[in-house]
A and B are shown apart, each in its own frame.
Chain A
């Protein structure tokens, strides 16, 4: 799994972008997106996913069930 951003909820505040340890987040068409192949769910870096912890809107950065689970290298 990876995390994804529900774009209808995102305020495009950009807070998550610099917090991501994997540079998985970037701006696209006025909203922010997570590149699932880069997202490690913050495993190996922090106790909680940084995008979730910093995002001002609840339930905006959520697990993307359509993507295979991240496996630590």
Chain B
């Protein structure tokens, strides 16, 4: 493997060419996402030298793959496939499939015809919408006719939209062939175990070959299908991402094994999501008091897998029918009623032009960060701090503290800034005035950060944040996130050196449980 040298942090264990290419893409998914011992891969808007340009094209604008791209491009989901062929203990099928979205939120069920109209309406209005996924509740491949019909209808009018499928994997082997005939850009498999002993505590039953299987048999069959499905996708060159739900005490340690197993079978990205569990969800885990992980536990697991493979940290377990830029929900503009009445003009040219502009914008953020990095490389320090950022997208600090529904978390070190995750919070400000009750919740959610970057912030929350040891920073309002983060870190280092600031290790933070149940 003589191109190995140029991919410093890729482990050489696999030796398969596809594997390598995929690893490289993953390596290259964004600024500062360097793996252990790797160089920060800035400038990721241009393809790396030895990567197949076709594959790079496939992933660079994909909000699922590239944490940099997900600031700028958007995906949407439609719920057309309500049936499922397995039962997960973290799912209550009255609500959404936890594979793709948070439990506790019901999405609108659509027919393939309604769904494709909705997709076209959204794509015409929001040109940065580039990816369509079939979402839960349910498993798209347990509803193959509805899923494939939707894809067919969308592909007819809008062949530029990439299609993706998320599945539990049980029915995957029988559908890989049919999938590969569509313009399927990637498949996500939720794999929570590679050992049926572990699996039996996650899956009470599956429905397969006209029979309900339980216990260890169920977990074994599911496991075999997941692995075979993944291998079949890799053989056909279809990109495959793996999602895992981290369930403390059940599969948390085991997920390191899962990471190895899926990596060796060619998955190119592994996304570990926290279990979201509360009694009011009515799930088995919710009712039996199974807790989800804390932010620190989640990050520790993601870190321990990162040396092995690329981890995806920007998954928001977003609402299944969320529309618009990730995190910014515009679904009410596109209700079935409104969509059926709309006069839809699909403007392929306009979309293309817009996307090119966004690409330029993305380059600009990368260059700005690179410039700011100068001077930091010479610093020697093993200090690492986390900051929280309020943003509406475009890679800028452009959200008010009180309006933020979530914060993006970056880790700062002499290596630069590295995106490490999201934190959902309650809306602090509702209708223009801050509600005092929710402020402690917000603080708990970002309690492990030294600072919070915002476009604007009121006096009261500012004082409370300071009291909690979190520095409210509004001086970078509307500037690029990563550039500002690097600037801030340089100042922070200088202050620590001069003794003005005493660096302390911060505590853990909460992962919001069941946000938006009432929404």
Contact = CB atoms under 8 A, between A and B. Distances in A.
Interface in B95-146: 109, 137-138, 142-143
Q: Point out which of B84, B93, B143, B210 has the most chain A C-beta atoms below 10 A from its C-beta.
A: B210
**Pairs A-B, 9 closest by C-beta atoms:** A15-B83, A53-B212, A56-B93, A13-B82, A54-B207, A46-B210, A14-B83, A13-B83, A11-B94
Nearest to A45: B210
A71 B83 CA distance: 30
A23 to B, nearest CB: 15
B85 interface: yes
Q: Point out which of A11, A52, A57 has the most chain B C-beta atoms below 10 A from its C-beta.
A: A11
Contacts of A19: 210
Nearest to A50: B210
A53 B84 CA distance: 12
B212 A13 contact: no
B211 interface: yes
A15 B142 contact: yes
Interface string B162-196: 00000000000000000000000000000000000
A11 B83 CA distance: 10
12 contacts: A11-B82, A11-B94, A12-B82, A12-B109, A13-B93, A13-B138, A15-B207, A19-B210, A52-B212, A53-B211, A54-B207, A54-B212
Contacts of A15: 82-85, 138, 142, 207
Nearest to A57: B93
Nearest to B139: A15
Contacts of B370: none
A56 B84 contact: yes
Given A12-B82, A48-B211, 5 more contacts: A11-B82, A15-B142, A54-B85, A56-B93, A57-B93
A73 to B, nearest CB: 21
**Secondary structure type dominating chain B contacts:** loop
Interface of B: 82-85, 87, 93-94, 109, 137-138, 142-143, 207, 210-212
Interface residues of A, number: 16
Interface string A43-66: 000111010111011000000000
Contacts of B211: 46-48, 53
Contacts of A57: 93
A48 B109 CA distance: 29
Contacts, number: 45
Nearest to B205: A53
Nearest to B146: A14
A23 B84 CA distance: 19
Contacts of B143: 14
A18 B93 CA distance: 18
Nearest to A54: B207
Contacts of A13: 82-84, 93, 137-138
B19 to A, nearest CB: 36
Interface in A1-28: 11-15, 18-19
Interface of A: 11-15, 18-19, 46-48, 50, 52-54, 56-57
B214 to A, nearest CB: 11
Contacts of A47: 210-211
Nearest to A47: B211
Contacts of B207: 15, 53-54
B253 to A, nearest CB: 29
Nearest to B142: A15
A64 to B, nearest CB: 20
A12 B79 CA distance: 13
Contacts of A54: 83, 85, 207, 212
A54 B137 CA distance: 15
Nearest to A13: B82
Contacts of A48: 210-212
B210 A14 contact: no
Contacts of A46: 210-211
B87 A56 contact: yes
A11 B143 CA distance: 16
A46 B209 CA distance: 10
B212 A14 contact: no
B94 to A, nearest CB: 5
A4 B496 CA distance: 71
A19 B85 CA distance: 11
B210 A53 contact: yes
Contacts of A11: 82, 93-94, 137
Contacts of A56: 84, 87, 93
Contacts of A52: 212
A53 B82 CA distance: 16
Contacts of A12: 82, 109
A2 to B, nearest CB: 19
B99 to A, nearest CB: 14
Contacts of B109: 12
A15 B207 CA distance: 10
Contacts of A53: 207, 210-212
B388 to A, nearest CB: 38
Contacts of A50: 210
